A and B are shown apart, each in its own frame.
Chain A
């Protein structure tokens, strides 16, 4: 609590903040004491909110009556006030009343709940389909019917998590690549997972659905206003369950179209890069970034791993052994430890080449070899 005042004070004292950051700060300030469910930005989230409030007020009303009687009784009917106990102990009529009245209230609650549920389950006739795949610990978004497909990783720097740097407003809720969607369009989500069960949740859309390996769940949304909507994984999925946020950026249709075209062009360019020959330094530098984004969660930023859980890269038999074995481990995953996923289908050839080059030459490993994207492609084609 005190920290809030400190932060506000620091903000006023140190520098004149830009207007936008002040506005952001105020919004954050309003959010921090948030006590209720968001009304969200879709029709479904609005109805869900209203349903939630309806049930809440019914509970409050029942509570007032029940506790009212109880507190009245505790006040009036005490021995210290000389109150003599009555001896009544049953009444079928009263029992019937308090069985039937709650039943009627429940039926009244069930009607709007059923209606809302039917709305939420109406996943037909969508304008856009996005496949969402949960991975330990990131999300992959495939825009079905286009070439666009990418991973969305936590972008909050490790130093903020470790309290070495001040935390940004969107701490733990920032990703490198948000899901971009058009407003006013019915978007259908096809939700699955690659390893364990995750759950894709964005409170402002009132969409929460489990991502289950081997099965595809459906959900949908239609966002009314452009904006950035943040959520998190909602099903315990292992070590970094708390570190796989969801960010959805809703934009007008025209902006969405140009974004999609841009992404498709990038994908085409990435395919071209597969043919290119890179220098060692280029690969090493790119590999470091890829490593920190993809590998460091388990193998640790210093390549030392976690004893008993995740093996070290530094001096490992794989990273300092035959190149073939290293390629196989990264591209096809481990045969014995499912935590080591098959990264072949997840990453571009360029990134795979870069990260393998990096691993073979970082953390004291000194193999001196470079791996080119074309080597990766050849390895994949050979299988």
Chain B
């Protein structure tokens, strides 16, 4: 017998319901997205013109660091966990997540972690200022005192991610409806299953590396200090052993979302389902053996350079397979271009552009010129903003009618899309140019020849920021009311989530559906 939620704030504090927790994750992530976005705007405002106008270099470095940390750990990762919470039980025909109490806990420690992280901005010596990659010894011997709070915040975020990952694996492996074999699962479930294994493999490595920092800072060890027999480059190896799989953690679920949306709006089944699964698994495997391509300039022996160059280039193969599959899915379909489809198509195009620059960066000798320039900034923003952010946005528009029972405003959605699409390209495309022309990243001021493109990029950034207000407005309006959505919402979409009513009742699949 289903029962409703507790009234008031207790509903959210005590909830073990996957839909409530999913919503909290998504709102939290959107709040962090706005916070991290504001920091990006401080960066872009300072870089609008050469010279120091708005902030000093100390604070600029805090902004770049916090922007990166908040976007990676606060915006993108929780958003994917939120979507997983909402959708995975409904997609596999389960009544809830396998471990609902842990689900509550893994969400509720996040606000504390980020409050702690954000509070460092008000501490003596300021917030962490050593970049989101926090290379030692800048982040150990030379760090501001707030680094200790940063370390504990990372520990908590890591714990939350690991708990989330365990929960997702347990749900997918144990709670599928009868007949839902592994190779019948929607790709979003598959990509999340693989992502969850990546999380379990690498979040402890991140915890390890920040703990080693903690020891170096407070307990006199010298893991990363050459003077004590350690090695600053060791930090980078350990960090990127976490860091490279981490960037796939932020993109694999995106692949899953897009693989759900494109077939719906092309009215044609996904092309090459099983090759999509194998490609995802290959990418996950390769992500563990390419980490040192972030470190081509640290002075590795040539054998190391070559190995990491070849392995990195290989990633292009399974990634290419995915892109080709999406395009072939669209090919000879019967397409319409609602907002989720627009974001998904932009995802395919722009993510592929980011993939091209990634391939260029993989070429070690050329990387010596690209490394640590704005070309890299352009590259990873092209994979992360259209990759993670656009796919999350697409997913929200796609499933919002199912969550709320109301259709969002399509015109406003399209306005949001075009503002975001133009803003994104105006912001990040010129960064390729200034990077190739020689502008290093993470500098608060730059030589005069970079001025024009930086000015353009800054204007694009504010446009992109403004687009998100439209998004927020549209979502709030849809939650409040609007045209009623049908159970199917779209034109014959595939998946169990479309068999339940809109809005999805508080408890779904209390009795498992039958899957043919």
Contacts and interface: CB of A to CB of B under 8 A. Distances in A.
A243 B349 CA distance: 37
Contacts of A201: 372, 440
B52 A163 contact: yes
Interface string B179-214: 000000000000000000000000000000000000
Given A32-B451, A35-B436, A210-B297, A55 B363 contact: yes
A63 B323 CA distance: 11
A242 B57 contact: yes
Contact of B320 (A35, A98, A235): A98
B445 A161 contact: yes
B332 A85 contact: yes
Contacts of B160: none
Contacts of B142: 136, 195-196, 238, 338-339
A89 B269 contact: yes
B447 A172 contact: yes
Nearest to B139: A196
A59 B352 CA distance: 10
Nearest to A164: B51
Interface string A78-108: 1110011111111100110011001100100
Interface stretch (A69-77, A248-256, A270-278, A360-368): A69-77
Contacts of B226: 212-215
Contact of B272 (A31, A80, A89): A89
B139 to A, nearest CB: 9
Given A113-B366, A236-B135, A308-B125, A85 B372 contact: no
A102 B316 contact: yes
Interface in A1-50: 1, 3-4, 28, 31-38, 47-48
Contacts of B53: 163
B138 A197 contact: yes
B321 interface: yes
B438 A109 contact: no
Given A63-B352, A212-B233, A309-B144, A120 B444 contact: no
Interface stretch (A226-234, A280-288, A346-354): A226-234
Nearest to B433: A35
Contacts of A38: 437-438
B interface majority secondary structure: helix
Contact of B232 (A47, A56, A212): A212
Contacts of A51: 363, 365-366
Contact of B270 (A37, A89, A95): A89
B266 interface: yes
A77 B262 CA distance: 13
B379 interface: no
Interface string A303-322: 00011110000000000000
Contact residues on A (Cβ < 8 Å of other chain), bracket: 35 or more
B382 to A, nearest CB: 13
Interface stretch (B82-90, B237-245, B307-315): B307-315
| Residue among B302, B366, B449 having the largest count of chain A Cβ atoms under 10 Å | B366
B352 A66 contact: yes
Nearest to A339: B142
Given A34-B433, A35-B433, A83-B334, A196 B369 contact: no
Contact of A73 (B137, B225, B331): B331
Nearest to A47: B365
Contacts of B410: none
A117 interface: yes
Interface in B109-148: 124-126, 129-131, 135, 137-138, 141-142, 144
Contacts of A35: 432-433, 436-437
B124 A195 contact: no
Contacts of B317: 99, 102-103, 106
Contacts of A90: 271-275
Contacts of A91: 272
Interface string B448-486: 111111011000000000000000000000000000000
B327 A70 contact: yes
A167 B51 contact: yes
B285 interface: no
B507 interface: no
Contact of B365 (A28, A48, A210): A48
Interface of A: 1, 3-4, 28, 31-38, 47-48, 51-52, 55-56, 59, 62-63, 66-67, 69-70, 73-74, 77-80, 83-91, 94-95, 98-99, 102-103, 106, 109-110, 113-114, 116-118, 120-121, 136, 160-163, 167, 169-173, 195-197, 199, 201, 203, 206-210, 212-215, 217-218, 230-243, 306-309, 338-339
Given A55-B359, A116-B365, A236-B135, 18 more contacts: A4-B452, A32-B448, A52-B360, A77-B332, A77-B334, A83-B333, A86-B332, A95-B321, A99-B321, A110-B310, A117-B302, A172-B445, A203-B369, A212-B226, A212-B233, A237-B138, A309-B58, A309-B144
